[in-house]
Amino acid sequence: MVGRLLQENVSIMQKKNYGYAEYYQRAEDVRDRLSDISSSMCMAKWLQVSINLNNGTTQSCYHPAPHPVPLKELAIDVSALHNTAFKKQERKQMLLGQRPEGCEYCWRIEDAGDGGHLSDRHYKSSEWWAEPYINDVVSKEWNHNATPRYVEVNFNRACNFKCMYCSPHLSTTWEDEVKEFGPYQFNDFAHNDISSLKSKGYMPIGVSAADNPYVSAFWEWWPKIYRSLRVFRMTGGEPLMDKNTVRVLDYVNDNPHGQLELSITSNLCPPNQKLFDRFVEQVQKIETIRTYEDPENFNEFTQNYWYVDKGFKHFWLYVSFDGVGQQAEYMRTGLEFDRMLNNIKTFLRETKYTTVSFINTFNLLSIPSLRGYLELILDLRKEFGGSNQSEFEISPESNKTEKANGIEHKKYRQKKFQRIFFDIPLLNYPNWFDIRNATSELIQQVEDCIDFMTANEQDENYVKTFEGFKPHEILKMKRNLSIMKESFSEEIVINNKRQFYQFITEYDRRRETDFLSVFPKMINYFNECQQLYQDIN
């Protein structure tokens, strides 16, 4: 049953659409289609895959815990990077209306409060790379080898950052710290313990990249799936530090794919600025509009087999930071906030068919500078809102043609598009940073930020300026607020606060930082956590 909050949101969406193909509305429509199949259906389980080639693990999207790709399965079929026997069993569960345990992130969101919330399984299944293939997925047996449309790959965990909620299995800099100081010790467990991560199969397999069977399998698989792909995303570690990133960009440049959305997740503060400069140059090269000969579409009557295209459909640059200024730098050790911001603006100015999307992994420490984060979004949307940038599309006016090598072909035109996006996915781990530990004071700060977003909601002029906040962005913040208010049980909150104090104290000691000088508005929260810790020590 749709809850009261959702009904109010639907009413809002009906009133405020402004001609925008609304993200939220599409998700609602697809929710109904999925429900006709089963109560737990999700296209991401078939059409999306996130692969860590360092340790040979795979997951449907980034919410479920990764599971190993058995080498025996990989030896039979390299598509086992996506189609493991384990994942096929989860697909079977979904078709039967059962909830796979690993998808708890979405079940928690859907069940929050009065229920009826849209989760990522609705949003993902409604995306342009997934929705057109729903019928194709359900028309086949549950155990067929699905062809992914969205592939995310982690080639290398080499990274010059050690974000506070990251791990040695994803960052070499984190590994260096743990080797120097040991894991973070709590009363009853060790956090980021390398030996424990090894026993769970999370650490790299311990061979060179040249000998890594998972990397080899990927490059064998890559040309087989390339033309079917709609989204390809590179993550890390820091992708700008890895030669495979260069190899992918070169491949796309040599094999243009006009339906491919190419993307990379970067901290934009690589150890050498030349790595960023090379990256910008490669994107510029691929996005250059070129004329190609296409013999497969040769028409003997018109002899029209030339077409104009870019090397990709679009390029997305994802940049992760969870606050602004010093607070962002505290959460992500290695971040130089001003340098990152300058590189973002350079990328936007020097490329044309690109979008930047910020990822705020929403946690307790995101809240104190949330207002500043939102103000930064508005400032960048004002500067790069789309008024001076343009996308590339075939002109709908069929009589408009131009010549290429003496051959007439359809003329292309340019259109404006949104260049600044952001998302606020919830932090799942570690528990002491979970927003469900929030106090009423922190909850009030988020409520104030929602008021700020509402006051700056896009209006009917957004298609000209691309400024303001979109309705679905406000709804996502309201979703996070609803989950904050759920809270944990009192016993769990007390334990999480004790661990918060332990972690922050050790974090400051190791990294020579000072939490209270960076987060002065959290002094009451910190003092409460300290007192709870001292009560049992």
pLDDT by residue (tens digit) across 325-376?
999 999 999 999 999 999 999 999 999 889 999 999 999 999 999 999 999 9
Q: What is the pLDDT of residue 311?
A: 86
CB–CB of 310/289 below 8 Å? yes
Confidence of residue 448 (pLDDT cuts 50, 70, 90): very high
Q: What is the pLDDT of residue 16?
A: 47
Q: What are the percentages of helix, strand and coil residues in the chain, rounded to 5?
A: 50, 15, 35
CB–CB of 523/516 below 8 Å? yes
Q: What is the C-alpha to C-alpha distance for residues 66 and 239, in angstroms, rounded to an integer?
A: 20
The pTM score is 0.85
* CA dihedral over 343, 346, 352, 356, signed as positive or negative: positive
Is the predicted pLDDT of residue 483 greater than 70, yes or no? Answer: yes
Phi, psi of 261 (to 5 degrees): -95, 115
Q: What is the average pLDDT value for the chain, to the nearest integer? A: 88
Q: Percentage of the chain surpassing pLDDT 90? A: 73
Residues 414-442, mean pLDDT to the nearest whole number: 91
DSSP 227-238: GG-SEEEEESS-
Confidence of residue 292 (pLDDT cuts 50, 70, 90): low
Phi, psi of 357 (to 5 degrees): -125, 130
Sketch the domain layout of the chain as residue ranges: 1-154+201-230
Q: What is the C-alpha to C-alpha distance for residues 387 and 464, in angstroms, rounded to an integer?
A: 7
Burial 412-447 (b: 16+ CB within 10 A, else e): beeebbbbbbbebebbbebbbbbbbbbbeebbebbe
Is the predicted pLDDT of residue 392 greater than 90, yes or no? Answer: no
Residues 79-107, mean pLDDT to the nearest whole number: 96
Which pLDDT tens digit goes with each residue over 180-214? 999 999 988 999 999 999 998 889 888 777 789 99
Identify the helix (H) or strand (E) that includes residue 502.
Answer: helix 490-511
Structure token pair of residue 252: 């796309």
From the number of C-beta atoms within 10 Å of its C-beta (0-12, 13-18, 19+), residue 364 rates as: buried
Helix boundaries (H) for 257-383: 273-287, 325-331, 337-350, 370-383
CB–CB of 205/56 below 8 Å? yes
Q: What is the pLDDT of residue 117?
A: 84
